[in-house]
Structure 1
């Protein structure tokens, strides 16, 4: 599944954030942009897996609805954290303060990247590679 491949590839890039100078304004900007991209890939991947499972909510175009359906379907997703991530993604364009941006980057590195990893691991275990041979719609 192309969405899974893209998700996994971009996660590998985002995981390198911890090795960068997170006090650098350009690095912080890159981390937040990569986070927003990864979050978008995540909810679209979840939408695809929910459709594969026959979950009606997969027809929704709303990230919030997809996330809520995913919480109900998959036990390896931290629902509260994913809703926090959605809010963070939505707030990105309104962060003008350097301290707030740094706090956001710290949260991305400490909590969000591990949750992206947990999603990948959960999908890998659940589908054991079967789903990922399926072509995206």
Structure 2
């Protein structure tokens, strides 16, 4: 694949995302819940195409630590390949296996934006295992925007 082919591929992906965003924005006023869920699934599909095979990309769930503390609802999560398949549908995901967590917005305002470095409150995997409260402070926000 030449450099030109890569640029063309990325341009096509950008167009695909923009088209989906426009479709969801048109429906958000009449049914924001469904539009939001579809936006989350769209980002999950994109991530599934880009993260290495074996990683699990799931939508809508909470993160739970070893003490039973749970996070608020998180829109999209990437889980380690070793995550037990039997636990994937429970929607309470073990903090020690969460690779990344995203909150998706169809609309994005200044109030939604905060600076939170990836490992701001956790010192690597050990910090993530210490508790959901630490791990969920670094939830990232993604937005479908043009």
The TM tier, using the shorter chain, reads 0.3 to 0.5
Higher strand share: 2
Which of structures 1 and 2 has the larger relative contact order (alpha carbons within 8 angstroms, sep 6+)?
A: 1
Higher helix share: 1
Larger Cα-atom Rg: 2
**TM-score (norm: length of structure 1):** 0.32
